[in-house]
């Protein structure tokens, strides 16, 4: 029986722009998987607008799951990636809001990412590793900033922070009624995921959270955000009243 290759947890999204298409890849901690391909149909202004909007639409489900670190690439001397970033700054400025609940962190890199072998070669470069580290750390820091506001009572909206697996499970698996707590985000460190004696429960929690459209994020323990999470036990969930 062929053994299924473990993919690990989601880290980022890679969007490789080419002359007539964009290829989207999910970057996991152990593998890279093709997610979608968006074709450009036509060469007029409206066609380019629709093409870029289609890429945003494909990204939406991943953003809702909590994967908000996005690298866009295009071959050297091509402006496809830059034009896409200019488009979303103009038409989807909410993605760039510093404190936005649905914002993302973008990075741009020169290189081809239309085929798997091109992605593999790109990911071996120092430039890619550095950029990936920068945007994932920046995105995690932004989420930690929101967490700190909850902890310090700056956002006095009835939000709470949960630290125990049992409490988080109870909230995630329960019924969410208006006026009651609803989970917003679950964050944990990669070390917590490796070291916990309750791996099955944690993986099940993450899957249920995904099914119920709750954003989740696994953070490198060596980053600033990871250190802060470790101080809180390695696993947190913050929730607010509907």
pLDDT on residue 153: 64
Lowest mean pLDDT among 37-51, 143-157, 214-228: 143-157
For residues 53 and 34, give the distance between their C-alpha atoms in angstroms, rounded to a whole number: 19
Asked if residues 37 and 15 have their Cβ atoms less than 8 Å apart, the reply is no
The average pLDDT across 233-238 equals 91
Structure tokens, 17? 């722009």
pLDDT in tens, 18-57: 999 999 999 998 899 999 999 999 889 999 999 999 999 9
pLDDT in tens, 225-234: 889 899 989 9
For residues 156 and 104, state if they share a domain.
Answer: no
pLDDT on residue 177: 66
Greater model confidence, 195 or 3? 195
Residue 129 lies inside a defined structural domain of this protein: no
pLDDT on residue 1: 47
For residues 14 and 119, state if they share a domain.
Answer: yes
Residue 186 lies inside a defined structural domain of this protein: yes
What domain range includes position 80? 10-124
Residue 133 lies inside a defined structural domain of this protein: no
- The strand pair at 215-219 and 105-110 is best described as unpaired
Structure tokens, 138? 């920046």
pLDDT on residue 2: 46
pLDDT in tens, 98-142: 666 678 899 999 999 999 999 999 999 999 999 998 998 888 888
For residues 40 and 111, state if they share a domain.
Answer: yes
**Neighbouring residues of 70: CB distance < 8 A, sequence distance ≥ 6:** 12, 13, 14, 15, 59, 104, 105, 106, 107, 135
**Neighbouring residues of 85: CB distance < 8 A, sequence distance ≥ 6:** 72, 106, 108
For residues 146 and 47, state if they share a domain.
Answer: no
pLDDT on residue 40: 96
Lowest mean pLDDT among 92-101, 128-137, 150-159: 150-159
In CATH, what number is assigned to the domain containing residue 183? 3.30.1330.30
pLDDT on residue 99: 63
pTM: 0.82
For residues 172 and 211, state if they share a domain.
Answer: yes
Residue 15 lies inside a defined structural domain of this protein: yes
- Give the residue among 105, 209, 99, 100 at the shortest CA–CA distance from 162: 209
Residue 4 lies inside a defined structural domain of this protein: no
For residues 114 and 172, state if they share a domain.
Answer: no
Cα 198 to chain center, whole Å? 24
pLDDT on residue 144: 81
The tally of domains found in the chain comes to 2
pLDDT in tens, 174-207: 877 665 778 888 999 999 999 999 999 999 999 9
In CATH, what number is assigned to the domain containing residue 75? 3.30.420.60
The strand order across the sheet containing 105-110 reads: 32-39, 21-28, 10-17, 69-74, 105-110
Residue 132 lies inside a defined structural domain of this protein: no
Helix axes 116-123, 126-152, angle to 10 degrees: 80
């Amino acid at each position: 029986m062929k053994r299924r290759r473990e993919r690990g947890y989601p880290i980022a999204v890679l969007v490789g722009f080419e002359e007539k298409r964009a290829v989207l890849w999910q970057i996991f901690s152990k593998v890279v998987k093709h997610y979608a391909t968006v074709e450009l149909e036509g060469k007029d202004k409206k066609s380019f607008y629709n093409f870029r909007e289609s890429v945003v639409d494909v990204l939406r489900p991943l953003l809702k799951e909590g994967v908000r670190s996005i690298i866009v690439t295009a071959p050297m001397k091509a402006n496809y990636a830059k034009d896409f970033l200019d488009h979303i700054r103009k038409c989807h400025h909410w993605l760039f809001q510093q404190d936005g609940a649905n914002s993302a962190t973008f990075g741009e890199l020169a290189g081809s990412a239309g085929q798997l072998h091109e992605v593999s070669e790109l990911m071996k470069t120092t430039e890619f590793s550095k950029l990936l580290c920068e945007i994932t750390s920046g995105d995690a820091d932004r989420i930690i900033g929101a967490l700190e506001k909850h902890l310090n009572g700056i956002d006095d909206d009835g939000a709470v922070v949960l630290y125990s697996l049992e409490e988080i499970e109870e909230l995630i698996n329960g019924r969410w009624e208006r006026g009651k707590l609803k989970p917003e985000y679950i964050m944990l460190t990669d070390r917590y995921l490796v070291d916990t004696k309750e791996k099955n429960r944690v993986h099940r929690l993450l899957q249920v959270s995904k099914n119920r459209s709750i954003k989740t994020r696994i953070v490198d323990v060596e980053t600033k955000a990871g250190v802060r999470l470790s101080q809180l036990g390695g696993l947190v969930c913050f929730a607010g009243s509907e």
